[in-house]
Structure formats: C-alpha cells, structure tokens
Amino acid sequence: MQQLLNELFRLPSWQPILVSIIPVLFAITAHEVSHGWIAKRLGDPTAQRLGRLTLNPLKHIDPIGTVLLPAMLIFLTGGRFVFGWAKPVPVTFENLRHPKRDMVFVAAAGPISNFMMAIFWGFIASVSIAISSSFPSISDSMKFIKFMGAAGVFANALLMVFNLLPLPPLDGGRVAVGLLPGRWGWGLSRLEPYGFFILIGLMLTGVLGILIDPPFNAVIDLVGFLVGLS
C-alpha cells in the first residue's frame, strides 16, 4: 500500500486532487453520519430531525473547511497533508441515555467509520490492480480507479488518525473526556475553545506531523495487509 501511495504522489499535482475528490467527500460524509447514527441509537434523534442522517455529501459540506482549505493543502503539499472539517452533526448531549458514557461511543463512531472506509477503498485498489494484471488491454483505464482507491485509503486513514488526537473538539478529545475520571475529564474539556488554535500551532511547528506519522503509517500498513497490498 505504501508503494501505491508513492505512485499516487508522483503524479502531476492536479491528478491527486482529481482522484481525491470523491473519496474525500465520502470520507467526511461517512464520518459525520456515523456520529448521528450512533447518537440516534443511544437516544438522541437531533441529527435525524435536522436531515443530517443522509449520505448526500452536500448536506455535510462546509465551504471553507471541506473545499477551500483541503484543496489549498493538497496543492501546496502535493496531497501529503490534508486538514479540514465538515459541518458537525449536531448531538444533544442531554438526550443520550447515559451522556458521559454514550458520548464516547458517539465520538468514536467517526474514526471507526473512516477505518472501515479505508478498507473499502483499499479493496477497490486491490481489485483494480488484479483486473489490470489479468486483462492488460484495459490496464490504462483501470489506473484512475486504482489511484482513487489509494487516495481513499490515504484520506480516510489520515482523517481517522487526526481525529483520534486526544484534544477537544476532536473525537479523540471527546473520547478522552468521557473515559477520564470526572475532574480530569472536566479539565481536558476546558481546552475545547482553544483546540483549533492549538492544532494550528502544532501544524506550523511540525509537531502535528511527528504525532500523526507513526499511527498513520501503522494504519496504512494494516489496511494494506487486510486487502493484500502489503
């Protein structure tokens, strides 16, 4: 899988952007819908009432966080780092049957959905490579699907690992708040208004990449192993 990603990022800069559009849109869509779906199962129908339990990406797109910023980062970094966000699916904490415990499941649902999507896109890449090997005459037409699969693995693995950072308002931060003892959880939750600025600082100093790279590469290797592209 790492070799396939290296091939992807050796393409001209506009091609990784092109093959990333559909995977990125569905990565954020699955991520947000999974939050709302688990919340509904645990007693909070807010997302459903507001029409957010839909796989229509247009319902989840934030013009700046979903389109402008990721496109700029893909262009500037050649697709090797993408940072952005979608419209958060609304969750009414008080509606959950066991708010502190259930919020852990709601928050964890997003990264779990991205891991499952990474496996799906890895399978797409694996099948396209197999078809190209069996039918060389159509190998050129399968390249787009192969690289789209690779982009899907990359986008979902990065979104998963990034969101698991234990910093509110990221999913990992909310999971940590729910799992930590009361006073510690409350202390961590107070960082939420400053979380975005902390992330920008970590990104500008290069610390964010240091934190993300090892688990990201581990997820890529695991997906590659599961779909036969290790």
Burial 28-60 (b: 16+ CB within 10 A, else e): bbbbbbbbbbbbbebebebbeeeebbeeebebb
Q: Which two tokens stand for residue 134?
A: 């069996």
What mean pLDDT comes out for the span 130-136? Answer: 87
**32 has catalytic annotation:** yes
pLDDT at site 77 = 63
- pLDDT tens-digit readout, 217-226: 999 999 999 9
Q: Which two tokens stand for residue 18?
A: 């092109």
pLDDT at site 74 = 64
What mean pLDDT comes out for the span 36-53? Answer: 92
CA distance 190 to 163: 18
Q: Which two tokens stand for residue 72?
A: 């700029």
What mean pLDDT comes out for the span 110-128? Answer: 96
> What is the rounded radius of gyration, in angstroms, for the C-alpha atoms of the chain?
18
What mean pLDDT comes out for the span 8-37? Answer: 87
Using the predicted structure, report yes or no on whether residue 124 has a pLDDT greater than 60: yes
What mean pLDDT comes out for the span 163-190? Answer: 91
Separation of CA 190 from chain center: 24
Which is the catalytic residue, given 7, 32, 94, 192?
A: 32
Among the listed residues 84, 109, 115, 97, the one whose alpha carbon sits nearest the alpha carbon of residue 45:
97
Using the predicted structure, report yes or no on whether residue 116 has a pLDDT greater than 70: yes
DSSP-assigned letters across all residues of 97-111: SSHHHHHHHHHHHHH
pLDDT at site 81 = 62
CA distance 40 to 161: 25
- To the nearest whole percent, how much of the chain has pLDDT over 90? 52
- Averaged pLDDT of the chain: 88
pLDDT at site 181 = 87
pLDDT at site 175 = 94
pLDDT at site 65 = 74
